[in-house]
Amino acid sequence: MSARLIDGKRISEVFRSDVARRVAEFRSATGVIPKLAAVLTGDDPASAVYVKNKHAACEQAGLGTEVIRLPRETTEAELLAVVHRLNTDPAVHGILVQLPVPPQIQPQRVLDAVTPLKDVDCFHPENVGRLAQGRPRFLPCTPAGVQRMLIQEQIATAGKHVVILGRSDIVGKPLALMLMQKGKGANATVTVCHSQTSNLAEVTRSADILVAAIGVPRFVTADMVRPGAVVIDVGINRVEGRLCGDVDFEAVREVASAITPVPGGVGPMTISLLLENTLTAAALQTSGAPGAGNTGG
Ligand SMILES: NC(=O)c1ccc[n+]([C@@H]2O[C@H](COP(=O)([O-])OP(=O)(O)OC[C@H]3O[C@@H](n4cnc5c(N)ncnc54)[C@H](OP(=O)(O)O)[C@@H]3O)[C@@H](O)[C@H]2O)c1
C-alpha cells in the first residue's frame, strides 16, 4: 500500500489566498499596508533563495516587503543598528533576520534585539514564553505550518502519540509545545528525540505521527515507522544537487498511511505562516484594526 501524499503546495496555495483576502480587507479598513522587512547578511546562496521566495510571496499576498542586504563583513553592532532602526520604523510591522548570520555575529543577540511585537518568526524569548503558556502572540512558522497541514488533512492529533525527531529552537521544541497544548490540532502526547536518545527506532516505531526535523538526508528508514503512521518530513537537504528530506521517502511511503514530500511539503507552509504573522503584527500595531488571526496583546 502506498501512502497518501500530503500536498503542502496545494494546501499552502489555499491558505495564501485566504491570507491575501484578509490583507486586502485590512488595507481597506485601516489604510495601512502590513510590511515585512527581511535582513540578509552575507552571501549564503540557500539564504538568498529563501529570502527571494519570502519576498515574492509577500508581494503576491499584497504585503509590503523590503530586503536589506548586508555584506559578509558586517559587524554585530552594525546588524543590531539595522534591527533597532526597523524596530522603531512605524511602516515596518514584521522583522525577519535570515539565519545563518556570519560567524562574527551571535545570532541569539540579534534575535533577542527584535522587538517582540515585530517578531514574526516567534524567536524572541517573550513570544516563546507566551507560546509555552498557551497564549501565543505569533505562531512559529514551520511548527505552525506542520500543525495547519495536519488540521487541513483531518489527521487527528488528540490522544495520539507524536514523536518529533530534533529539538531545535526553530522546529522541534516549539512544535512539541504547540502539539501538547489543549485545543484544536493539539492535545497530543509528545515525545522529543535528539542525538542522545537511546533506542531511537523503538521510539519512532511507537509514533502515530512521526515528524522528522534533524537535517540528515533520508535518516528515517521504513523499519523505523509503524505501519499506518503519518510521516511529516521537515528536513531540507541537498544531495548531489537535488533536494531531499530527512525521510527515505520511497521506502517509507510503502509503510506509512500519509506522508509529506520534499520539496512541496512543509516548506511552502512555512512561508504561508510568515505572511499570516506579518498581518497579525500589523493588526497588533494598528490601533482600532480588526483582529487578524492569532491572539495578541
Ligand atoms: N521546511 C522548512 O520550512 C524548514 C524550516 C526549518 C528547518 N528545516 C529543515 O529541518 C531540518 C532541521 O532543522 P533544524 O534547524 O531544526 O536543525 P538543527 O538546529 O541542526 O537541529 C537538529 C536536531 O536534530 C537532532 N539530530 C541530529 N542528528 C540526529 C540523529 N542522528 N539522531 C537523532 N537526532 C539527531 C539534533 O540533536 P542534538 O540537539 O542532540 O544535537 C538536533 O536536536 C533541516 O534539514 C532544515 O533545513 C526546514
Query: Does the CB atom of residue 295 touch ligand 1 within 6 A?
Result: no
* Per-residue pLDDT tens digits for 174-225: 999 999 999 999 999 999 999 999 999 999 999 999 999 999 999 999 999 9
Q: For a pLDDT cut of 90, what percent of the chain falls above it? A: 96
**pLDDT at residue 78 is higher than 50:** yes
Average pLDDT, the chain: 96
Give this prediction's pTM: 0.96
Taking CA atoms, 145 is separated from 11, 96, 106, 240, in Å, by 10, 17, 27, 27
**Within 10 A of 222 (CB to CB), how many other CB atoms are there?**
15
Q: Can you tell me which residue has the cell 503584527?
A: 281
**Within 10 A of 191 (CB to CB), how many other CB atoms are there?**
16
Give the atom of ligand 1 at the shortest distance from the alpha carbon of 145. 3
* Structure confidence at residue 297 (pLDDT): 41
* Structure confidence at residue 212 (pLDDT): 98
Query: Does the CB atom of residue 168 touch ligand 1 within 6 A?
Result: yes
SS3 135: coil
Mean pLDDT of 267-286: 97
Query: Does the CB atom of residue 164 touch ligand 1 within 6 A?
Result: no
* Structure confidence at residue 290 (pLDDT): 66
pLDDT band, very low/low/confident/very high, at 31 (cuts 50, 70, 90): very high
Task: Give the H/E segment covering residue 8.
Answer: helix 8-30
Give the atom of ligand 1 at the shortest distance from the alpha carbon of 196. 40
User: H helices of 153-265, where?
Assistant: 172-179, 200-204, 249-252
**pLDDT at residue 19 is higher than 60:** yes
The residue among 212, 207, 254 whose CA lies nearest residue 229 is 207
Per-position DSSP letters for 34-78, written without gaps between them = -EEEEEEES--HHHHHHHHHHHHHHHHTT-EEEEEEE-TT--HHH
User: Mind listing the domains of the chain with CATH numbers?
Assistant: 33-115 (3.40.50.10860), 141-267 (3.40.50.720)
| Residue type, position 114, single letter | V
Mean pLDDT of 265-282: 97
Backbone angles phi, psi at 117, to 5 degrees: -70, -15
CA–CA gap between residue 42 and residue 21 (Å, rounded): 35
Mean pLDDT of 230-234: 98
Q: Can you tell me which residue has the cell 516548506?
A: 267
CA–CA gap between residue 91 and residue 82 (Å, rounded): 15
- Residue located nearest, by CA, to atom 23 of ligand 1: 166
Q: Which residue of 54, 139, 168, 237 sits with most ligand 1 atoms within 8 Å of its CB, as the best mutation to test the pocket? A: 168
* Structure confidence at residue 263 (pLDDT): 96
**pLDDT at residue 93 is higher than 90:** yes
